[in-house]
């Protein structure tokens, strides 16, 4: 397993469900596509999100210390840039849809998860995070470039004002060669 593989945090308190998900992703883990970590409570999940660079979260909404959409909302609030795929029970599709409306990447129904669709869903989540991060960085660089360009323009205007003032001093100082020499030196500095 590659240690630079994206880390998927599986927030699941049921050891059997975690084992099943692990089995479904075993081939991807073996190929080094993902690394898996497990959190068994909301507090544990938040702690791991703070400690590690998590590429995506696979989130059970029924945990010992949190239940329902509040579980999703808390993880999202805690780690807003990490894609979250919600795990629901067979009769909780409405809850899954609600999580998607609140910002979840997707939802999957426990008991209907197969390795191929799970791996594809997680690939999509990881790729989406990578692209969004790259877009945010690009936008930040563009804003910084615009800001720097604005500062350069303003600075150039100020230099033009200084140069104009120095040139205005040349006529009154025409009979004082030492001072006129200083004005010419200052003008030359501004031009270069």
How many angstroms separate the CA atoms of 2 and 83, rounded? 21
DSSP class of residue 12 equals: -
Averaged confidence pLDDT in the chain: 90
Place of tokens 């020499």: 181
How many angstroms separate the CA atoms of 25 and 58, rounded? 12
Closest CA to 31 of 56, 5, 53, 54: 5
Average pLDDT estimate for 152-170: 88
Q: Give the model's pLDDT for residue 31.
A: 95
How many angstroms separate the CA atoms of 90 and 26, rounded? 23
How many angstroms separate the CA atoms of 177 and 131, rounded? 64
Residue 141 near residue 93, CB atoms below 8 Å: no
How many angstroms separate the CA atoms of 20 and 53, rounded? 24
How many angstroms separate the CA atoms of 55 and 49, rounded? 10
- pLDDT, tens only, 8-21: 999 999 999 999 99
- Which residues does residue 67 pair with via DSSP β-bridges, in sequence order? 62
Average pLDDT estimate for 120-145: 87
Q: Which pLDDT band holds residue 46 (cuts at 50, 70, 90)?
A: very high
Dihedrals phi, psi of 35, to nearest 5 degrees? -120, 150
How many angstroms separate the CA atoms of 117 and 78, rounded? 27
Phi-psi region of 189 (alpha: psi -120 to 50; beta: other; left: phi over 0): alpha
Q: Which pLDDT band holds residue 36 (cuts at 50, 70, 90)?
A: very high
Alpha helices in the chain (DSSP H): 15-24, 26-30, 42-51, 69-78, 93-101, 115-170, 177-191
């Amino acid at each position: 397993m590659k240690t630079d593989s994206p880390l998927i945090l599986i927030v699941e308190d049921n050891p059997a469900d975690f084992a099943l998900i692990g089995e479904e992703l075993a081939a991807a883990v073996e190929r080094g596509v993902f690394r898996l970590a497990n959190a068994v409570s909301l507090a544990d999940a938040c702690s791991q999100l703070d400690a590690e660079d998590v590429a995506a979260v696979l989130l059970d909404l029924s945990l010992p210390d949190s239940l329902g959409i509040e579980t999703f909302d808390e993880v999202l609030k805690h780690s807003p840039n990490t894609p979250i795929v919600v795990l629901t029970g067979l009769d909780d599709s409405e809850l899954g849809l609600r999580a998607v409306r609140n910002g979840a990447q997707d939802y999957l129904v426990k008991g209907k998860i197969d390795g191929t669709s799970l791996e594809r869903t997680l690939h999509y989540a990881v790729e989406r995070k990578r692209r969004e991060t790259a877009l945010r960085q690009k936008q930040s660089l563009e804003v910084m470039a615009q800001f720097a360009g604005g500062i350069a323009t303003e600075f150039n205007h100020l230099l033009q004002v200084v140069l104009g003032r120095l040139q205005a001093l040349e006529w009154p100082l025409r009979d004082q060669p030492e001072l006129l020499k200083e004005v010419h030196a200052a003008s030359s500095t501004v031009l270069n």
